Chains A and B, each alone.
Chain A
């Protein structure tokens, strides 16, 4: 019964059907995911769940990488100005120096914020550097 109904469909009806299916999935993937909210260190500490924190890398000389334990420690200042020691269980991301902004995804473990991922807002890698001729 259902099949016979389908058989009489026009091409635009099928197109609409597929388009609707796409919109539905796109909606679910884009907006449905329980994306954690952007927040700051203080709120993250209270909530004790995975959060996104926007900030920038400060006190660069204090950052260090421990190759034996494979942990990178560095300080990040969030948008409220709060400075926090952050641990990242990987080596320093290759072009963290160039990043104008970082987004940390992670949660607190004691007094340290442990980032599981670091997103960098970088000027394009392939762009020319402002070198002077010599």
Chain B
């Protein structure tokens, strides 16, 4: 029922956005009604989806896929944006809020700005329609609309233009004649004609013989014809609705063939990797950043369309800064998430999805700088317009990359493909084409007399910075798009295997130039005399680098050169020699440039603040932040040190060369010395009584899953027999019934049962993660100690999932994660088969088992048997030795076992017999699983990582300051 309301809300939002957009274009006041209707419909759709998720209505596919009864409230809220539909809805919701803000703040330009935003809303809402439609009908609609618009509004120039008439007639006629696949043999011809058409239209628009609308719809008509000629399927899926029923989404599931009204008791839940509080804040911030990009875009479109001056555009600049700030913070939060809880020590992996959000941010930053240049010299106006338009198009492109499935297995965190790639491409091309034509048609209007460069002018240096940012973006985008390019062109370009190295090498020189440009540009921007004094910060930087060289690497390494480059220069091909020269000292120069940027910007910031111009110091603060951020990255990754070296004697003697020895084994309660620390694995963390907040999740087959919180506030669960919950001898049929029956006295019984039996019944963390207690003591002074609690989960589908823990020092982080666990860590009772001969020792981690001897027993108790053999075994566990002696009793052809036990260890050992093939005796060992008896850990020290976080903070603070000042104005 609610689902139908939700579907209606989405359709209302879609149609009202179209109407509102059209009316705003024609400046009709009635559009306001539809604008607010649209906003309400989007909010309603979001609210309904939340309602369905919070009430666990698993008959809906989206609810079933992304939530489960186990999820705490915060993650249920976060589960909304795990899927494509929910995150589109979130994006739409942010854009709705923003458009409301625009509506109130800019009453004069309201209609113009909002028509641009609403057009984006239309296309984004169409991603949620879940409408299956015949492609030909859809194209017919598009063709009719296009021709109507062309004839209604631009008929005059068309009559003059013979070619345009032909193009329109072709657009009109082609769909009527074409059938699917007809164009396939003429692939290249068609591609060529399309390119020619685009070039011709562009030329016409540039000459201002046609206007933008006309050019746009002619290309659109041609596009429709081409799509129809290529498409193989006649049924198109327009969007994917979050309100689809489970049985409609999975019609082939067995359960629905048996029982069409089936509703699952539990959902399949949120991906364990995403169950983190970062999931609650990172995606909304990022999507707010995405949504904000449309505002500066709208400002530029309006300015160009109505030929507004730069003075008017100044109103849009704080929005650009806000977009860059929010997107930047979103990216940083993602990096922090990756560092703190997700991956193996990295905050940035150059994954395509990460790059796809980084590149628009870089372009936004470039656009801000282009605006600063344009304020001084009008001829940078087109550059600013171009960059702002591109930033938004790149947001759409990154949406396409992450959501169309084109990245395939090149990225670890793209969305599942929903078959929306065509629609996403349309969204991308529509805005790219429109922006292109808009720029072309206004190019002559914008053009100013070109002024030759002067090196003592700030705008020159600003522009150098903008150009470097631009080319950096192009390069990152190009390499990131390899999978997409491969799909398009059928090429086989492999993305670089060592991302970090590749991006470092290819960008380091430009980063150096960029950093130097920040200082020179800022100095020239404020006072030309500053430049002459730049020698001082430069000297300070040289001294700092020299000091670092001396103190950090010691006097034996005067330069940080990488020996491999040195070798390349000496003995390599000419290409390798060139590479060697290029990168031999790039580390040093980068370090120098970084400190120069810190000192130079810091020095100018100090001047400005002293002159009480602190409001304008925003740029310098952001620059310092940027340099500190890179410094943090430089030290923490360049001088990262693995402290958990494996010092197993056999490994040292047996293998040669430089090899990895990064992980160390910790047996429970046995301290191990690693570099600088003594580490002891204490055991797995157990829930701490008293327990509280009991909640019955659901019951299946006479057992109920009960969740509760322990004294620390961690969530655990336990399976209890469902009869404990019975009050009126009625076994609850499904979750909802159980949940309704949660009365206090039932929960009291439960609590009592769990607390009494907490050592017998397996209690597990609700998120299935196990927490391992590691004691770290200072090697020199063991009274100094701290605990780290890394987590790990053995997931059936995803293998070992680890969550690191770290100790933050002022100058470094000690970062520890579990790298391996015993296989049986999930089981409750362990049963192992041991095979060994007399006199053998067997390493059975962390125990050593020694078969001392076999003794023939002669005792009146066993007079019925032919043979009685006692196996005398010793179990060594650290300094302790335990004896155990199971018996094998033989009578005729039959064998019987008499177990023996080691009470201290709760071991039971049975002597099973003799394996004559291998000449070994076979024993079975049963023991309770006390959790992992050993863990393998990796510990890394990351020096000066705090600089990175400080830098990101200053960068954001600088952006915030600048936008605050401009918003107030």
Cα distance, A106 to B797, chains bound together (Å): 28
Listed stretches A23-31, A40-48, A73-81; interface member: A23-31
User: Is A58 interfacial (CB 8 A cutoff)?
Assistant: no
- Contact assessment for A69 and B648 in the assembled complex, using a CB-CB cutoff below 8 Å: yes
Knowing A67-B820, A122-B409, A129-B797, the reply to whether A18 touches B579 (Cβ < 8 A) is no
Cα A34 to Cα B574 in complex, Å, equals 12
Judging by beta carbons under 8 Å apart, are A126 and B413 in contact? yes
Q: Are B413 and A125 in contact (CB under 8 A)?
A: yes
Show the binding face of A for B, using Cβ within 8 Å. 3, 6-11, 14-15, 18-19, 21-22, 25-26, 28-30, 32-34, 65, 67-71, 89-92, 94-98, 103, 105, 109, 114, 116, 119, 121-129, 131-134
Interface contact B453-A91, CB-CB below 8 Å? no
Cβ of A32: which chain B residues have Cβ within 8 Å of it? Answer: 575-576, 578-579
Report A-chain residues with C-beta under 8 Å of the C-beta of B463.
Answer: 11, 14
Residues from chain A with Cβ under 8 Å of B348 in the complex: none
CB distance from A43 to the nearest CB of B (A): 20
> How many residues on chain B are close to A (CB under 8 Å)?
76
Asked if B650 CB lies within 8 Å of chain A CBs, one says yes
Picked from A70, A98, A119, the residue with its CB within 8 Å of the CB of B661 is A70
Q: How far is the CB of B517 from chain A (nearest CB, A)?
A: 11
| Distance of A70 Cα from B674 Cα, bound (Å) | 15
* Residues of chain B from 643 to 671 with CB closer than 8 A to chain A in the complex: 646, 648, 650-651, 655, 659-665
Give the Cβ gap from A132 to chain B, nearest Cβ, in Å. Answer: 6
- Complex CA gap A119/B496 in Å reads 12
Which one, B452, B471, B576, contacts A19 given CB within 8 A? Answer: B471
Chain B residue with minimal CB distance to A15? B467
- Identify which of B415, B507, B663 contacts A70 (C-beta below 8 A): B663
Question: Is B847 positioned at the interface, with any CB of A under 8 Å from its CB?
Answer: no
Listed A/B pairs (5) with beta-carbon separation below 8 Å: A21-B509, A30-B496, A70-B663, A126-B412, A128-B416
Across-interface contacts of A11 in B (CB, < 8 A): 450, 453, 463
The 10 closest A-B pairs by CB, nearest first: A91-B820, A29-B506, A133-B264, A70-B663, A89-B660, A95-B799, A70-B646, A94-B799, A94-B800, A91-B819
Point out the residue from A26, A98, A127 that lies within 8 Å of B799, measured CB to CB. A98
B557 CB, nearest partner CB in chain A, Å: 24
> Using an 8 Å CB-CB cutoff, how does the interface string of B11-41 with A read, 1 for contact, 0 for none?
0000000000000000000000000000000
Residue pair B413, A14 in contact (C-beta under 8 Å): no
Selected contact of B450 from candidates A10, A29, A133, CB within 8 Å:
A10
Judge if B782 is at the interface, Cβ distance under 8 Å: no
A26 CB contact (under 8 Å) in B264, B475, B497, B582: B475
Asked if B467 and A90 make an inter-chain contact with CB atoms under 8 angstroms apart, the answer reads: no
Nearest Cβ on chain B to A53's Cβ, whole angstroms: 13
Cα distance A11–B370 in the bound complex, in angstroms = 13
- By the criterion CB–CB under 8 Å, are A92 and B820 in contact? yes
Query: B453 and A7: CB pair below 8 A?
Result: yes
Chain A CB within 8 A of B920 CB:
no
> From residue 21 to 64 of chain B, which have CB atoms closer than 8 A to chain A?
58, 64
Task: Tell me the complex Cα distance, A33–B58, Å.
Answer: 53
Q: Does B819 lie within 8 Å of A90, measured CB to CB? A: yes
Whether the Cβ atoms of A9 and B453 lie closer than 8 Å is yes
List the B side residues contacting A97 at CB < 8 Å. 799
- Interface flag for B620 (CB, 8 Å): no
| 15 other A-B residue contacts (CB within 8 Å) besides A22-B475, A25-B582 | A22-B471, A28-B506, A32-B576, A67-B820, A70-B646, A70-B661, A91-B820, A94-B799, A95-B799, A124-B408, A124-B414, A125-B413, A125-B798, A128-B416, A133-B246
Nearest A residue to B822, CB-CB = A67
Q: Write out the residue numbers on chain B whose beta carbons fall within 8 Å of the beta carbon of A34.
A: 572-573, 576
B384 to chain A, nearest CB (A): 13
Whether B799 lies near A126 (C-beta < 8 A) is no
Contact call B502/A7, Cβ cutoff below 8 A: no
Q: Tell me whether B584 is interfacial, beta carbon within 8 Å.
A: no
A-contact bits for B260-291, CB 8 A (1 contact / 0 none): 00101110100101100000000000000000
Closest to B274 in A: A126
User: How far, in whole Å, are A92 and B798 apart by their CA atoms in the complex?
Assistant: 13
Q: Complex formed: what's the CA distance from A11 to B464 in Å?
A: 9
Q: Are B262 and A70 in contact (CB under 8 A)?
A: no
* Chain A residues within an 8 Å CB radius of B582: 25, 28
* A112 to B, closest residue via Cβ: B655
Q: What A residues does B412 contact at CB under 8 A?
A: 122, 124-126
CA distance A95 to B497 in the complex (A): 18
List of A residues within 8 angstroms of B802 by Cβ: 94
Return A131 CB to nearest CB of chain B, in Å: 5
Q: Report the Cα distance A96→B820, complex, angstroms.
A: 13
Query: Nearest residue in B to A8 (C-beta to C-beta)?
Result: B452
Q: Does B455 contact A (CB under 8 A)?
A: yes
Closest Cβ–Cβ distance, residue A48 to chain B (whole Å): 13
In the bound complex, how far is the Cα of B572 from the Cα of A7, in angstroms? 38
Determine the residue in chain B with the shortest Cβ distance to A126. Answer: B413
Residue of A nearest to B659 (CB): A89
Task: Give the distance to chain A from B268, nearest Cβ to Cβ, in Å.
Answer: 5
Neighbouring B residues of A25 by C-beta, 8 Å: 505-507, 509-510, 582
Nearest A residue (CB) for B249: A133
Stretch touching chain A among B221-229, B250-258, B329-337:
B250-258
A28, B798: Cβ atoms under 8 Å?
no
Are A134 and B506 in touch, CB under 8 angstroms? no
Task: Tell me whether A18 and B497 are in contact (CB under 8 A).
Answer: no
Q: Does B936 contact A (CB under 8 A)?
A: yes
B414/A126 in contact, CB under 8 A = yes
Kindly state the separation between the CA atoms of A116 and B452 in the bound complex, as whole angstroms. 54
Q: Are A70 and B505 touching (Cβ within 8 A)?
A: no
- In whole angstroms, what is the CA distance A67 to B845 when docked? 9
Which residue of chain B lies nearest to A103 when distances are taken between CB atoms in the complex? Answer: B497
Q: Which residue of B lies closest to A22 (CB)?
A: B471
- Please state if B262 and A133 are interface contacts (CB–CB under 8 Å): yes
